[in-house]
Amino acid sequence: MSSGKVILGVLAGVAAGALLGILFAPDKGKVTRKKISKKGEDYLETAKEKFDEFLNDISEKIDEVKEEVTDFAEKGRAKAEKAKKDAETAAGSVV
């Protein structure tokens, strides 16, 4: 299971628990609705922050992979050029 799904599941569970706790609290309807709204905003903000962190982590990983691929390609080109020069040198000494 990916970490994003786990985080989302935990946040959904916490939000559901908080909502049920507020609904069963002995407050007036207006107060309860304000509490629900405030908790919803808090959880939404937390979810947004976690999602942004997740996207930043993914972006960093993508950048790392791009750098590794670029390095690998450059090393491959250098080896190919060296092999070509070695082949030309060997061919020149045979003639």
pLDDT in tens, 33-58: 788 788 888 888 988 898 899 899 99
Task: Quickly list DSSP for 56-73.
Answer: HHHHHHHHHHHHHHHHHH
| DSSP summary character for residue 26 | S
CB 54 within 8 A of CB 4: yes
Closest by Cα among 39, 46, 34 to 19: 39
**48, 72 Cβ separation under 8 angstroms:** no
Q: What pTM does this model have?
A: 0.49
Q: Are 32 and 23 in contact (CB under 8 A)?
A: yes
Divide the 95 residues of the chain into consecutive groups of 10 and give the mean pLDDT of each group.
78 82 74 81 88 91 94 91 86 66
C-alpha to C-alpha distance for 24 and 17, rounded to whole angstroms: 11
Domain that holds residue 41: 3-94
Q: Distance of alpha carbon 60 from its chain centroid, rounded?
A: 8
What total number of domains does the chain contain? Answer: 1
